Chains A and B, each alone.
Chain A
């Protein structure tokens, strides 16, 4: 065993003089960094600042007596995520044990930070998600049914969350719901733009290209801010909530990116497919809906899942229109003079949560890519 370890160390860390020198510099530095961070995290840090503000971080200023609505959303999201997972990933025993233990850890953390009831609700939501995962996989339901179920889930979340008013949505809940809504909204618009850019009708092609290229050249923050400003001018009599205006800005911006992904998928469809369909006298509509798009979208699913991460990361920009997302909620906690010295705790927590969610999305995107590569 020791010889095996020694051989591993020799081969991977000290194979050549240059590698050895690098290792000799990095190992002490890394050890020091790990020690310093560990000492800070376990001894010096006051994690109460995070634990005490969990409600603000996760839901912003959502009324405390209406929190069951937020819990409903969490459970629905878990179920949706599980069902979506069931479409592509087999619920192997190891994967389920890993997911379940992470869920138990999170639930225990929530129980310690807030109360036992919240911990149990978290565990219940996670169990629902795992059940949906296994259920969707075992029953072998049609993809279309699952996808329409996901859409229904999003609508249900909106209907349940909205009664207290859009302006009280906040925290991580706002970031997640915004991301999901925008991801869905961008799809039809982006597909239309991609088809427009490929169209044989010159004017349609020019207009779609101009839209895509303009949106891709300007910053997201400019689009979101401007849509937010311009909507009240267009509709002076109705007051459109800031959240919906923000969503419109995000959707208009990211549709251009979706269009480019879809276009790359359209180009991957062999020309023979289109020629064959045309020789069967299919109309343009049937050709696109039944022949081209199913093949094109299949190819770009990993990119579209990766795009969800861009939307989630971009959702931090809603501070510009006065909404309180996850990052903004953390900054609001730090604005309290009592907490001003606790910046590192709050930022480390925010960073860890963002990294966990972002890492999960990236992992899903890569798994899907590998899955599709194996299938073809």
Chain B
């Protein structure tokens, strides 16, 4: 009887072949249709550009850029070894795009770190027992999430940063931070010329010991390594410390010294950090609320305070849940840096626009820029997935 059923359900070989063939034909038809569309688009664009006298080639990347950017570093081999130097009009178009990427990354990475910190704080604030804190955080998050990022960027730039005092009368905060309309100046590290090889060696030794102390396991070993690192640091200070603090000063001709951030970058960074913090706050709040209530009740019954519970019980679990959502936020944030063009920040998209305006090469440029953004997205999600696997793998063990 079972053979009967099997025979009943089996398809005759001739028809089976036909079915498989039709399936493959369908697949092939779809691939050919889509590939044809893409190739037709590419050819039509190439032809249109050829009519304007522009041939499809990436050769223009090596040509001299002939325009200047307000900021951005490029790799260069001028001194014999790979080094980073400021972009200048004599660099190539490829180096210009690199400077744009450098600027985008500069903003994106700083924003990722800052928005995670502030966003977590605000997310916790939304669940505070204090009515004022809770509702202030709620209002801020809603006001930011319900308005366009672009108006926020434009507001921070034109209505806040450009209204800082001029550089020669810059307001000086906490002795080290200068805020002026030509940029914000932070204290920087300066290398003092008097330092000898001995102090550099001691500093390097202290650094190696510190890294080893953090990376290796075992409490006693760690303590010994950290103590050794501090004594090496102290010895370096005695011999003549090679690094000094370079404080910015406001002079009659502008601010000088320290480590400066352009007004465009200041505004873009503030806008993106504030905006992304609101989204991170929602992610963190959602994750905290998604945890079983029993976690709070159990730690309360053990006599832990609310802040203690939050720090030691809740947040460690929250960070395991939120990592995938955070990765999405980080990718959006990196894409958001492209809005810097509205305030003249030379990010990747802005530089791409300038280069393609100058050379007329939109097709090649967009391929490069698209691939770069794709690569950035992949790198961010790969990093976060790696951390996620590590964190959640440890829990499983």
Contact = CB atoms under 8 A, between A and B. Distances in A.
A202 B132 CA distance: 55
Contacts of B335: 217-220
A155 interface: no
A350 B151 contact: yes
A333 to B, nearest CB: 12
A23 B51 CA distance: 69
Given A218-B370, A221-B338, A358-B146, A16 B129 contact: yes
Per DSSP, are chain B's interface residues mostly helix, strand or loop, or mixed? helix
A138 B339 CA distance: 46
B362 A18 contact: no
Interface string A318-349: 01100000010001001000000001100100
A163 B375 CA distance: 45
A217 B375 CA distance: 9
Interface in A8-40: 12-13, 15-16, 18-19, 22-23, 26-27, 30
B30 A225 contact: no
A344 B136 CA distance: 22
Interface string B17-60: 00000010011101100100000010011001101000000000
A63 B306 CA distance: 62
Given A233-B48, A347-B159, A222 B373 contact: yes
A1 interface: no
Nearest to B339: A221
Given A23-B130, A236-B48, A347-B151, A355 B30 contact: no
Given A203-B30, A234-B41, A319-B342, A218 B151 contact: no
A220 B336 CA distance: 9
Interface string B124-159: 000011111100100000110111111100110011
Contacts of A202: 27
- Interface size range of chain A in the complex: 35 or more
A229 interface: yes
A317 B150 contact: yes
Interface in B183-207: none
Interface string B215-243: 00000000000000000000000000000
A286 interface: no
Contacts of A219: 335-336, 338-339, 349, 373
A362 interface: yes
B130 A19 contact: yes
A222 B338 contact: yes
A354 interface: yes
Contacts of B154: 327, 331, 347
Interface stretch (A102-110, A139-147, A308-316): A308-316
8 contacts: A22-B133, A26-B136, A217-B374, A222-B369, A314-B148, A315-B148, A316-B150, A343-B159
Given A19-B130, A203-B27, A327-B151, 6 more contacts: A217-B378, A222-B338, A234-B41, A234-B44, A315-B148, A354-B151
